[in-house]
Structure 1
Amino acid sequence: LRPGVLKPGMVVTFAPTGLTTEVKSVEMHHEALTEALPGDNVGFNVKNVAVKDLKRGYVASNSKDDPAKEAANFTAQVIIMNHPGQIGNGYAPVLDCHTSHIAVKFAELMTKIDRRSGKELEKEPKFLKNGDAGFVKMIPTKPMVVETFSEYPPLGRFAVRDMRQTVAVGVIKNVEKKDPTGAKVTKAAQKKK
């Protein structure tokens, strides 16, 4: 659990799908809890949701308090650490962010910056190579949930994986979110509205 609390009876929304349901119970080490707090590692049961409706990397949040949503795209500050060549627009590695592993496209290299001072060195560089840092606009190839590092650090930092190794790391500075369309709302959640 990250920010906030999780309690039985609460209505949660799973991003990126927007599936909304009620929490039946919350447990830690097979003991029922009346509430879970930030830092707690808990399991929780939800009503009327099939196993196939949930996947690794989904994020549950309070449906009444700015719930997490799918990212349409995001801007990140990236440091290239271990890539044998050059990285340019269109590069599509796998991003490891919280529990998701999803391919993303480096849609636009926006700036190259000095990794110590953060000062801009070049606008729209053609490529980034080992030791370089820059701001990159990224587009996930599949539905993915991320947040800015400043708001939710665990959902805002990532490793870039390619060729079976970490080639870069980054932090998310800004996220453009999608609204879920036609998301399933269980009967239990409808009663709670």
Structure 2
Amino acid sequence: MVTTPPDAARKEHVSVVFIGHVDAGKSTIAGHIMYLTGMVDDRTLEKYKEKAKEKNRESWYLSWALDINEEERDKGKTVEVGRAYFETEKKHYNILDAPGHKSYVPNMIGEASQADVAVLVISARKGEFETGFEKGGQTQEHAILAKTVGVKHIIVLINKMDDPTVDWCHERYEECKEKLLPFLKRKVGFNPKKDIHFMPCSGLTGANLKEPTKQCTWYTGLPLIPYLDTLANFNASNDGPVRLPILDKYNDRGTIVLGKLESGSICKGQQLIMMPNSKHVVEVLDLYHMPQDEETVHATPGENLRLRLKGIEEGEILPGFILCNAENLCHAGCTFDARIEILEHKSIICPGYNAVLYIHTCVEDVQITNLICLVDKKSSEKSKTRPRFVKQDQECIVRLRTARVICLETFRDFPQMGRFTLRDEGKTIARGIVLKLVPERD
């Protein structure tokens, strides 16, 4: 691996999550980007190639830069979210390689909430695009989840254009694009003019990842890496309140937490509060940029961090807890009102319905305690009577109650901590935004 340039911390940090159906080529593309940007050298890549050949998996060798455990390499499926980084002259990019299999969607959600940009990888190969996009495939769910957790821009990377069934065919590219665009606009909510960009590529050969390819004369836009450099600054001001949702924690000669700094700035030696338990005053002993694990003394919004904390035990922290400054604590509670859209549910939903709530990095059991009103999707007009039930494709305002106290904010005040998804029986059934926090009765 190549060491991080000393000026990396001064560049804008952008987190890019690769999402899409299983076998679309996400890990291969991410691995090839690391090679093209010098993060994996020729010798390491040759070693991956030899080992992959031994396992009769020669075409998967590039994915091994991120799929590092043996189960992932044997099956060719990403299970854990792969983490890596690369540099350009303009920016520092954190790569998040999300699992594509529907069994590992919960692993994908928390990590996608760390991302600024999503790269939705689509296979152009005959039959594979259709399998991934139609009902049962993960293309649609991944796109919806990316939007719901706050990804601001989506790049649709139509991969495997070099496949013999495609051979850089413009008509096939347009066919995939024409099916995806209405879905991303109407169902998911991305703005086609500002938020969506399509491009063809080959993850296996690296065509159109860093340099244009002569095989594709009809595409005149920028390749992936140069295009990423053109995107506007995503990150919030340093002046905001400190908000760092905890993604993971462990003990290694002290209490270690991982997460993305959503707002404010953090310095080594700073004292912070761990919410929702406001009694815990913690001190930041050490601060590292992730995933390169480079020590720093100061962090700004958008940076993925590892912190060593003093004043709290690892067993006292759960994913979804928030680091805040004492002057501006995040809100915590169990009950809140929200506007939700029912995406997929065969039967009706009534008060008393239980699901699993995913909000920022927090996962918690939740119950719909009241249906307050229906909301017209087009006019946003609210019904005057309380509905007895809601069903698929309807929007409504509901009251929700979690099993435990969680950290959250209204969507208006802090979007990244005020948007959520509801899942049940392995499916994403609804998405929503927090409208009002309801005080608990004594």
Of 99, 118, 128, 2:390 maps to 128
User: 5+ unaligned residues in a row in structure 1: which ranges?
Assistant: 179-193
Aligned to 1:54: 317
Q: 2:369 aligns with which of 93, 107, 110?
A: 107
- Alpha-carbon deviation of 1:95? 0.7
1:2 is matched with: 262
Ranked by relative contact order (alpha carbons within 8 Å, sequence separation 6 or more), the top structure is 1
Match in the other structure for 1:181: none
Q: Distance in 2 between matches of 1:151 and 1:96?
A: 19
Contact 2:350–2:390, Cα closer than 8 Å, also in 1: yes
Per the normalisation by structure 1, the TM-score is 0.86
Equivalences for 1:1-193 in 2 at 5 Å?
1-18=261-278, 19-28=280-289, 29-64=292-327, 66-176=328-438
CA distance in 2: counterparts of 1:57 and 1:5, whole angstroms: 19
Give 1:72's aligned amino acid: C
Aligned length, in residue pairs: 177
Greater CA deviation, 41-50 or 165-174? 41-50
8 A contact 1:14–1:68 mirrored in 2? no
**Percent identity for Structure 1 against Structure 2:** 25
Alpha-carbon distance change, 159 to 98 in structure 1, aligned in 2, over 3 angstroms: same
User: Could you say what the CA RMSD is over the residues aligned between the two structures, in angstroms?
Assistant: 1.5
| CA shift for structure 1 position 102 | 0.7
User: Which stretch of structure 1 is more off in the superposition, 14-23 or 76-85?
Assistant: 14-23
What per-residue deviation string (whole Å, max 9, x for no partner) do you get for residues 117-156 of structure 1? 2111343111110111011111111121111112222211
Paired residue secondary structure (1:42): strand
Greater share of residues in strand: 1
Contact 2:360 2:420 in 1 (8 A): yes
Q: Secondary structure of the equivalent of 2:412?
A: coil
- Quick one: structure 1 residues 80 and 122, their matched pair in 2 at CA, closer, same or farther if it must change by over 3 Å? farther
